[in-house]
Amino acid sequence: MDHDATGRAIAEPGDRRTREPGTAAGGPRLGRRRLLRLLGLGALGVAPLPVLPELIRAAGRDEPVQGTGDPARTRDGRIRQWVMIIDLRSCDGCQSVGQPPRCTAACIEGHFAPEPMEWIEVFEADLPGGGTQFIPTPCQHCQNPPCVNVCPVAATFSTPEGTVLIDQDRCIGCRICMASCPYDRRFFNWGDAPVPPESLLADYSPEHQVPVRRGTVMKCDFCPDMARAGTLPYCIQACPQRALYYGDLEEDVATNGRALVSVSRFLAENQAERQKEELGTKPRVYYIPGHGEAVGRDVFTPGREPTEWPWMERAAEAVTWQR
């Protein structure tokens, strides 16, 4: 059995289990109708709340997760462990190009993410002595993910590569995962999405959540399908200052599309941090402290351009979503 970067055992290829104790290999897959039938059983009417998730899981153990590719492997057979590094020294919120953050825009374009979803959102935070910094924030892809631990139907699950995905075919829209996420990186589809019509032609996969499903949760998927194909995620490709790196902990390499770095040395030498490490979630997204100084940003120049959804005019009749 392989192990991840923390030494924990992980599933072999073809084993779509979540890392949640008590979840069977193959993982439960439970449609809405089947769940409603299950909830209608008299026995569940008196089942204590802690027992309910396990009863639901047991009902779907013969249905494996669909739409996830075989794990990517190194040349010597180890399962890759995807990681992202965000160098805040080089992030200026795209002030230098006078546009909304390009990472956010590329993610929206590539995933047809509906308004107002920003799967990688660039926040502007105040600094202790005055001034601001920009902080691009995708899903943190925790290795101890609270969202996975609380989902009653295993619609959100961890993969052998370390990504955390959501299967909208299984999601029942309870939003418990949203409440449990300490990073506020999950979004609920309240209505009919304002997305371009071509998104309806896409083949659905938990690794590329297109087309969107009303009444389900969505988020950054870390683009593992692109990485396995040898292509960097949309956000990495679009960053004009090359502040975003994507890589593999097993090979100890990461790239921003121009430079190649050793992950371990890059993190250690630049005192990298992870958000809310004290919670023990073990995120796969690391941050190098800074405020855009490496690209000449004046820390006392606040503000960024508002995010845009490029297809809104083509889908003007669609309902604008609310989180």
The reported pLDDT for the residue numbered 253 is 97
- List Cα–Cα distances, 315 to 104, 199, 203, 287, in angstroms: 20, 12, 20, 36
Q: What percent of the chain has pLDDT over 90?
A: 64
Flag whether pLDDT at 155 surpasses 70. Answer: yes
Flag whether pLDDT at 45 surpasses 80. Answer: no
Global pTM? Answer: 0.79
Map out the domains of the chain with their CATH numbers: 72-323 (3.30.70.20)
- Average pLDDT of the segment spanning 260-267: 98
Can you give the three-state secondary structure of the chain, one letter per residue?
CCECCCCCECCCCCCCCCCCCCCCCCCCCCCHHHHHHHHCCHHHHHCCHHHHHHHHHHHCCCCCCCCCCCCCECCCCCECCEEEEEEHHHCCCCHHHCCCCHHHHHHHHHHCCCCCCCCCEEEEEECCCCCEEEEEECCCCCCCCHHHHHCCCCCEEECCCCCEEECCCCCCCCCHHHHHCCCCCCEECCCCCCCCHHHHHCCCECCECCCCCCCCEECCCCCHHHHHCCCCCHHHHHCCCCCEEEEECCCCEEECCCCEEEHHHHHHHCCCECCCHHHCCCCCEEEECCCCHHHCCCCCCCCCCCCCCCCCCCCCCCCCCCC
More confident residue, 149 or 35: 149
The reported pLDDT for the residue numbered 65 is 53
Flag whether pLDDT at 169 surpasses 50. Answer: yes
- Average pLDDT of the segment spanning 37-58: 41
The reported pLDDT for the residue numbered 56 is 41
pLDDT-based confidence at 192, cuts 50/70/90?
confident
The reported pLDDT for the residue numbered 64 is 46
The reported pLDDT for the residue numbered 180 is 97
The reported pLDDT for the residue numbered 20 is 35
The reported pLDDT for the residue numbered 24 is 35
Place of tokens 């499903």: 213
Question: How far is it, in rounded angstroms, from Cα 120 to Cα 106?
Answer: 10
The reported pLDDT for the residue numbered 68 is 65
Q: What percent of the chain has pLDDT over 70?
A: 75
Flag whether pLDDT at 59 surpasses 60. Answer: no
- Average pLDDT of the segment spanning 224-248: 96
- Average pLDDT of the segment spanning 112-140: 95
Question: How far is it, in rounded angstroms, from Cα 217 to Cα 9?
Answer: 28
